[in-house]
Amino acid sequence: MGGLGKTTLAQKIYHHSTIKTHFAGLAWVSISRKWQSKLVLPRILVSLVPEKKNEILMMDDDMLVENLLQIQQRKKCLIVLDDIWSTNAWDSLKDAFTAEKSVSKLLLTSHKIDVAKHVNPKGFIHRPVLLSADQSWEFLRLKAL
């Protein structure tokens, strides 16, 4: 369900000072319903290695995947795939994240639980819950008053 705070929670984690000191590279990419792997992979790689932006933009998909795998093996990265809607989207990107010796972490947000299970059936899945009317009012009252 939209509006539960999945992206907000991921942003809080991504921007936390402890995360910034723990990971040598950070990348955030919104996937959404209209994703294109040819746009997603370069954005991730440029975020992780900004000094090679011009070189990265000239790479084909195979070179992008190879370079992403190498970067994730060499340095600890946190890569956020925000708002991934389908298993097809993951399947088109997964080759860039399957490094067995990777020290990096992948965090994703999705409206669909089956996407998260498809990505990693043994991974941690956080399911935010909808607040009741009373909880919503109390939260608003605490923030606004």
pLDDT per residue as tens digits for the range 20-50: 999 999 999 998 777 776 789 999 999 999 9
Per DSSP, 58 falls in state: T
DSSP code per residue over 69-86: HHHHHHS-EEEEEEEE--
State the amino acid at position 117 in one-letter form. Answer: K
For residue 71, CA distances in Å to 32, 43, 64 come to 25, 14, 10
With bands split at pLDDT 50, 70 and 90, how would you rate the model's confidence at 128?
confident
- Alpha-carbon distance 89 to 77, whole Å? 21
How confident is the model over 44-70, as pLDDT tens digits? 999 999 999 999 999 999 999 999 999
SS3 (DSSP) at 71 = helix
Here the tokens at position 114 are 């089956």
pLDDT at 108 over 80: yes
For the chain, the residue count is 145
| Residue predicted with more confidence, 85 or 109 | 109
Domains of the chain from N-terminus onward: 6-144 (3.40.50)
Provide the token pair at 123: 């991974």
